[in-house]
Structure 1
Amino acid sequence: MATDKTVDPIHLEAYGGLSHLKNANLHDASLAGGALEGAAQEHSMGVWQGLKAHKRAAFWSVLISTTVIMEGYDVTLLGSFFGYPSFRNKYGEYLNEKSQYQISANWQQKFNCLGALANIIGALLNGWATSKWGHRKVLMVTLALLTGFIFIVFFAPSIEVMLVGQFLCGIPWGVFATTGPSYAAEVTPLAIRAYLTAYVNLCWCIGQFISAGVLKGLVNNETQWSYKIPFAVQWVWPVPLFIAAWLAPESPWYFVRNDRIEDAKRSLQRLTQPDHHGDIDATLAMMVHTNKLEIQEQKGVQLWDAFRGTNRRRTEIACMGFLSQITNGGALCYSGSFFFQQTGISASAAYGIALGGTGIAFVGTIISWAYIYKLGRRTIWLYGFASLVAILWTIGFLALPKQNLNLAWAQSILCIVWLGAYSMSVGPIIYVLVAEVGSTRLRTQTVVLARSTYYVGNIICGGLLQPQLISPGAWDAKGKTAFFWAGLATLTFVWGYFRLFETKDRTFGELDFMFQQGVTARKSAKYEIPTEELYNADEDIKS
């Protein structure tokens, strides 16, 4: 862990004061001097010092990211209901005497595809709305809407109405999934940024754990309340989270992008302990400098601007990063309870294994925090993804002999091992990488595009292919489904080796410089930035 150091302050008053920053050009000595100090402060701050000085930022980041628990809860909930006896009896159709009532592959496809489409709509709306009104207002509106949409799924008399309700609920979840990492990256300093962005993945795990626990407790209940109660649990979240969003400070980067420097300073004061308010001017100068550096290359803040100039490469990395959470076999291993049943394990045992798996995923994310400060994002992803590929091939080969209960248990346990490996590597580190890799002016748009790519991948892989591969009424491939995912994951690993960029220990301004210089992914971890080029000024910077 980095040791704490101190940096001699460069007082911005010597260069004309804070008010001078707004109209200063990129090469102004006062702006460059303050930005250099701000960057030095970021790099010198250790983890514990960062938590101590920015505990308020960590607190608000945790609260806002907690909205992702709702998405993790519901995604697991609906996928698990496809194998839930009482839900199948209410909304399914009779297949045969052996399989009884089932939610057909066709209906599973509709739920998965329309749900992902709703998530995409929510994410895209968030990218547009956040640039105009900020994270807080958008979050409050979507929380209010979700409260009403939950009524539809709770009282749904038919599978058609259930589909409409799930579609409408999916729009706010798309907003939540893209707000969490963006807000966390924008309110926390470099020293603790990885922990707070990785916490978004922990929220997913928490949501899945709660969902699996509720389902396990009600799986033997034969009444309608066995699936209505899990839907009703969703009403617990919106009101307290609405209050949290109302009280939370807006991102200072949002204010900087909109030339509201005084508001940005007030936001930083709310996010920093009072005894560290003396460092705010330098931090603000660094933010303004970074914003002007990006404006020099690309002025726009619209979605399509993410495909221009160096932003194109950054968008590719973010999109493929999130897509790797699909192509790594997640559609197989995250539909665990349904998959376990198809391999011959009882419904009660299947939901018990799924509950244990979500607990392992939770612990795995916590474990990742032990080395996330030391190992690079690229390193963690490569080693973690290689492990997932190996596990998928093993599950596939175990399906080649004639299936029996022992092999079924072996495959199911390997799915749990996969969840543990995923939650210790690819799961949390992608949230860190995606939140960091985009430019500051296009961060939310980059996260939105990346998450939308994830949803499109989920439509194709999880929505169309996985139900056909595994459903008894379709291809019924059972464990052999793993071969498809193993092949796809292998191709993704090759992409990551050549293209995944290292963002660890870099300020946003330094990342801008590296992308503008065309630094390759394999050299990104050890690249040394020439400070005199990044903070080039019209006159010498005082030191």
Structure 2
Amino acid sequence: MRGTKKNELTTISYGADTVNIDGPPQDEKRSQKALIAEAQIGFADEKELGPRAALKAYPNAVLWSLAFAACVIMEGYDTALLGSFYAYPAFQIRFGRFVGVTPSTPSGYQLTAAWQAGMGQAGGVGSFFGAALNGYMVPRWGQRRVVIGSLIVLIIGIFFPFFASNLIVLTVGELICGFPWGILTTCATSYASEVLPTSLRVYLTSFTNMCFIIGQLIAAGILKGLSNHINPWAYRIPFAIQWVWPCFLIPLVYFAPESPWYLVRKGHLDDAEKSLRRFQNPKANINPTNTLAAIIHTDNFEKTHEVGTTYLDCFKGAELRRTEIACMVLTGQILCGINFAYNSSYFFENVGVGTSTTYSLNLGGTFLALFGCFVNWFALMPYIGRRTIYVWGMAVMTVILIVIGILNVWTHHKRIAMTQAVLTLAWTLIFQFSAGQLGWALPAEMGSTRLRQKTICIARNANGVVGIVAGVLQQYFMNPQAWNLKGYVGFVWGGTCFLMFLWAFFRLPETWNRSYQELDILFAKRIPARKFASTEVDLFEDQEIGLDFREAPADLG
């Protein structure tokens, strides 16, 4: 039986048990029944919140998640920058070699495929080590301090490409910048997944992808404006703009609340409740004490099922399946052809589209990607399950890539080349409807809460390793001085995209509208992927799990 409004409760009565919930939770040892009762209310509150109600109840959580996600803009910006520089006249003249003026090389200069591959993947190598180390740093120091440290390292790293006098220095700079990028992307995703209720979780975790697009959009606009200049400032100015973000992000992140899940695992329950109060609207009918109890209950459930906290634990028991899914959905972004479509400027140039048209198409494609994100947010994800969107997105992208490959037979006709370019833009739109957004959202939902950070880091690194291999191959596929496949590369990525469609159809479970503990139970019971959506879950069946608030778990990192 409950008293007045949930956020005004001072006692809760359950039969013979009356438990005072005034003051900090660690002041007294709560009964097992009281904790479960509070957790039941917390889970029910979260289930009842639709997106609009959740937005009103957790406005500050949304704003702080947006602040963390904004750190990802820089990686999207630099990725688009470097990939587009390969077709950029000023950059080609400064760092390339003269190969003669042709329709594919209008400036007369061209970087070798080896340098394109090495420089283009240097950031991915740095990102791999950054993400791997992040799995140790965040459980030890928390999201805030790790993100601030990463932004400081990024400020230092930008000096290298800005002052680079040769390709070696430029590549080293990309390697250094990649290290904090690996940290910032995983932190942005995990932070949003931990501070938001279920109905908002997918929007803010997938916002990481939108931040990539925002960065790419900024880069495309700047490159379009400077594309006709051939002096060194045409590529130095775009590098220098990256210094803008850390200047306002560092103080913003400094004042952000820490994740309550991290604080619970560290045993700082009073701080966890204070953090929840900063995320939640005090006028909303939500009691942070109940939310905290739900977090503790979920953490205890995972401990009783022997969910550890090391990287090795991600590959044991039910966690192995969860890790596989997280890795595959994020790696699917690479295997469905992102290296081809997101280096579209270089592809457009190679099939004979002019420089000015190339960068106009590149800018238009980025706007189209942003439009696709909003369509997915408002027209697809509120009504269609994650699994359905991901699976059929892969199917449509497969068809588009195969058609691009077929059309390459007649690519010497200008209209056919433009058709291939338009199909590449269509691929971009479908990608943002599906794998682009959900590739970041699903890994944050797959791992158990105690292993979430490490699961995301492993998925990010799986994506990185496959991305490095794919990125190297892509440069050889497209470079006129190497394999020069042009549109035939659509057959390559169409084949890998089809394999991803098959995997997703048989292995990807539905996580739509499921709490973290519901997912824990479904994976623990080894429910088949195609039955996740229809299986009913009782969160408290045979689970008498309590916690001594004065003996909360110490550092589990």
Are 1:513 and 1:534, in contact at CA under 8 Å, matched by a contact in 2?
A: no
Question: What does residue range 368-407 of structure 1 map to in structure 2 within 5 Å?
Answer: 368-370=376-378, 371-401=380-410, 403-407=412-416
Aligned to 2:62: 58
Aligned to 2:551: none
Aligned residue type for 1:492: M
Q: Tell me the TM-score normalized by structure 2.
A: 0.92
The reply to whether residue 274 of structure 1 matches residue 282 of structure 2 is: yes
Aligned to 2:549: none
Give deviations 1:190-248, integer Å, cap 9, x for gaps.
Answer: 12112111211111110110011100110001111110110011011001000111010
The reply to whether residue 416 of structure 1 matches residue 425 of structure 2 is: yes
The CA deviation at 1:16 is 5.8
Aligned pair count reads 530
CA distance 1:16–1:515, shift in 2 (3 Å): farther
Aligned to 2:183: 175
CA distance 1:534–1:138, shift in 2 (3 Å): farther
Are 1:298 and 1:305, in contact at CA under 8 Å, matched by a contact in 2?
A: no
Give deviations 1:255-291, integer Å, cap 9, x for gaps.
Answer: 0111211111010011011124851111111100100
Are 1:39 and 1:286, in contact at CA under 8 Å, matched by a contact in 2?
A: yes
Partners of 2:315 and 2:350 lie apart in 1 by 43
Are 2:19 and 2:30, in contact at CA under 8 Å, matched by a contact in 1?
A: no
The CA deviation at 1:298 is 2.7
The CA deviation at 1:401 is 3.1
Show structure 1 runs of 5+ residues with no match.
1-5, 539-543
Question: What does residue range 351-370 of structure 1 map to in structure 2 within 5 Å?
Answer: 351-370=359-378
The CA deviation at 1:35 is 1.4
Aligned to 2:194: 186
Question: What does residue range 394-543 of structure 1 map to in structure 2 within 5 Å?
Answer: 394-401=403-410, 403-462=412-471, 464-533=472-541, 535-536=543-544
The CA deviation at 1:15 is 4.0
Aligned residue type for 1:412: A
Partners of 2:40 and 2:88 lie apart in 1 by 58
Question: What does residue range 88-99 of structure 1 map to in structure 2 within 5 Å?
Answer: 88-98=92-102, 99=105
The CA deviation at 1:126 is 1.3
Partners of 1:298 and 1:112 lie apart in 2 by 41
Partners of 1:428 and 1:22 lie apart in 2 by 44
Aligned to 1:73: 77
Partners of 2:424 and 2:19 lie apart in 1 by 59
Aligned to 1:541: none
Identity %: 39
Q: Tell me the TM-score normalized by structure 1.
A: 0.94
SS of residue in 2 equivalent to 1:527: coil
The reply to whether residue 107 of structure 1 matches residue 115 of structure 2 is: yes
Partners of 1:320 and 1:114 lie apart in 2 by 22
Question: What does residue range 142-221 of structure 1 map to in structure 2 within 5 Å?
Answer: 142-221=150-229
Aligned residue type for 1:44: E
Match of 1:19 among 25, 34, 51: 25
Runs of 4+ off more than 6 Å: 6-10, 20-25
The CA deviation at 1:12 is 5.2
The CA deviation at 1:19 is 3.2
Show structure 2 runs of 5+ residues with no match.
547-557
Give deviations 1:20-76, integer Å, cap 9, x for gaps.
Answer: 699779xx2222222111111111112111101100000100111111111100011
The CA deviation at 1:535 is 4.3
User: Aligned-residue CA RMSD in angstroms?
Assistant: 1.9
Aligned to 1:235: 243
Aligned residue type for 2:345: S
Partners of 2:186 and 2:163 lie apart in 1 by 29
